[in-house]
Amino acid sequence: MLADDVRLDLVEKAKRQGAVSVGKYFGNYDAVDDWLFTLGFLEKKPAILVSELNAPDEVIYVVLLKWTRVKIALIRDYRYARLVMLDADIEVARDGK
């Protein structure tokens, strides 16, 4: 699923490159179980919208993915840069749209 040269930009926190290093990033998310991922759009770009389970209608940050063919080439995670959300144009994908 990850390209060999995949890049991770954990905005305002860290950057990683390579499938092994970036793959460990997913393990960090697996250890947390109090959130909800929803598909949607940030500024008209496909995005993963992240909410807390106790407030599913409030998007607290987003994760953008860039693909090359069938593999993920870039993950831009705004977990540590939530100020981006203040003026963001966010739309939740509804009914497959």
Could you read off the pLDDT tens digit of each residue along the chain, which spans 97 residues? 889 999 999 999 999 999 999 988 877 777 888 889 999 999 998 899 999 999 998 999 999 999 998 999 999 999 999 888 888 899 998 865 5
**pTM recorded for the entire structure:** 0.85
- The pLDDT of residue 97: 53
| Domains and their CATH numbers in the chain | 2-92 (3.10.450.50)
The 3 state secondary structure assigned to 46-97 is: EEEEEEECCEEEEEEEEEEEEEECCEEEEEEECCCCHHHHHHCCEEECCCCC
